[in-house]
Structure 1
């Protein structure tokens, strides 16, 4: 399963990637330290070519934050809707984040950092069931 991990924190990326590997979640994990770099890879100059099945997206990053990333990919939502799920990673306990994700059909869930094996198992089960609940 192709996976993008977008987070500006090197330690968070390391821990999340290790957890994903230990749980046999993905053999293809591409990490990005900025949302802009991930956006360039996802959309490129000609639009979406090959999307990942899962994107783990940090909300609070310098430059383009997670919300801005989600707003920027809105024009590609229909192309991604049945092939890609986005999981928000956050260390925040802000309740408005939980409410706000409902505005983004590509966002499957909001997960608190660090994600654990249980979180990964739930995502794997959801992925096995298909993209629309």
Structure 2
């Protein structure tokens, strides 16, 4: 399974990556410190770069999670069946939960820190 983790916080990247590897060491995990870097890879490498799951932080500089989702919108018809996006956030703001439901590409919103039970459920789907 190919997984992208997009988060500007190195500690969050480390924890999420290691939790995923703990559940199944066969995962191919790529980490990105910005949505821009992940988007470039998706746009330039086409189908070869498409992951099964994207874990996306909302609050990042330059391109936040919402901007990343907007940038993916034109690609939605060709990618919506290919992968699932889960928003990872430390925000408890109810408006973030409501806004995440406006994006067909978003499969769910998970509050940080990611838990072992969450990973097991998401990866098994």
- TM-score range (shorter-chain normalised) is over 0.9
Report runs of 4+ in structure 1 exceeding 6 Å deviation: none
Question: Normalization by structure 2: what TM-score?
Answer: 0.94
2 CA distance for matches of 1:61 and 1:25?
28
- Asked if the contact 1:88–1:107 (Cα under 8 Å) also holds between the matched residues in 2, the reply is yes
Gaps of at least 5 residues in structure 1 are 127-133
The structure where helix makes up a greater share of residues is 2
Q: Which is further off, 104-113 or 20-29?
A: 20-29
Name the counterpart of 2:21. 21
2 CA distance for matches of 1:30 and 1:120?
16
2 CA distance for matches of 1:43 and 1:117?
31
Gaps of at least 5 residues in structure 2 are none
Question: Aligned residues, how many?
Answer: 124
Question: Normalization by structure 1: what TM-score?
Answer: 0.89
- Asked if the contact 1:87–1:110 (Cα under 8 Å) also holds between the matched residues in 2, the reply is yes
Shift of 1:48: 3.0
1 CA distance for matches of 2:79 and 2:114?
24
Alignment of 1:34-49 (within 5 A): 34-44=34-44, 48-49=46-47
Name the counterpart of 1:87. 86
Shift of 1:124: 2.1
